[in-house]
Amino acid sequence: MHEHHPLRGITLMMLATLCFAGGDAMVKHLTSAVPVLIIVWFRYTIHCVLMLVILGPMVGRGLIKTHQPWALTLRGLTLVFTTVLGTAAFRTMPLAETSAVIFLSPLIVSVAAGPVLGEKIGRANWLAVAIGFCGILFIARPGSGIVGIGLLYALGAASGLSIYQLQTRKLAHSESAYALLFFTALTGTAVMSLGAPFYWRSLSLDWLNGGLLLALGLLAGLGHLLMTHAFRHAPASTLSPILYMQLAWATVLGWFFFAHWPDGYSFTGMLIIAASSAGLVLLERRKIARQKAGIVP
């Protein structure tokens, strides 16, 4: 049994979100010189190799032990689609604003959970969703320079991520965490490797970009490791809102590395999206607490 240290858990989660935001900053830099598909290939391949090397000796066949291989493969394909669109969005939009739009995924999940999972959607949930989507109007307002294909990429990534999260919720009851994680890495590596001969022909990497591509996978792995340890020290209800620190990190990194600082309207939109998404987390906590207490929602 793990010791309960909320402050330690929060600190680890904040560091994990820094890793994720740092990875996104690397992606944005790399898209100026490296094709999107190659960046995605590196992310999945390094992820897959790390799991085989680190977890393979410990878990063995547990990495591929599953009751629903096709469902896990479909889930992996969904994340590949999401990653490609997200990477394309970072190429065409500022770091902070792109991160904010992709963070719409919890709102989309809240709406889709009704018809897909049969969950009851309350009026408070609908209100949070409506407010969150209003945040997009502040970010992608006329004259902001953001409206266009980049916004479509980001919205597509948010939609894909929401489908991925719904698939995860359905499969988490029957599949191990190892299988869920490994099938995602394996599917992404296999799919992206199919096109490797075509988009590798014209690739020319310098030492900096080559190093960043390798570091990208390592940073993502470190982020997930820190997140895992965070949940050992504090409950999910405490840590879930901390995930939105990633938007703050993205804003700072976007200013430091790309000289972009969101204006007042964009800041307002980002805060609206973060607040509405965090509100959904609090509503979910309240719902679970009522169910545990035997109170029908």
**What digits encode the pLDDT tens for the residues 128-187?**
888 888 888 888 776 666 657 888 999 999 999 889 888 888 887 788 878 888 888 899
| Residue 202 pLDDT > 80 | no
Q: Give the E-state strand segments of 203-273 in sequence order.
A: none
200-235: burial string, b at 16+ Cβ within 10 Å, e else? eeeeeeeeebeebbebbbebbbbbbebbebbeebbe
> What pTM did the predictor assign?
0.83
Amino acid at residue number 91: R
Give the best-scoring range by mean pLDDT among 27-41, 134-148, 193-207, 223-237: 27-41
DSSP-based three-state secondary structure for 234:
coil
Give residue limits of the domains in the chain: 6-289
Summary mean pLDDT of the chain: 83
Tokens matching residue 119? 């969950």
Q: What are the tens digits of pLDDT across the range 218-264? A: 888 788 778 777 877 877 667 777 888 888 999 999 999 999 988 88
| pLDDT computed for residue 255 by the predictor | 94
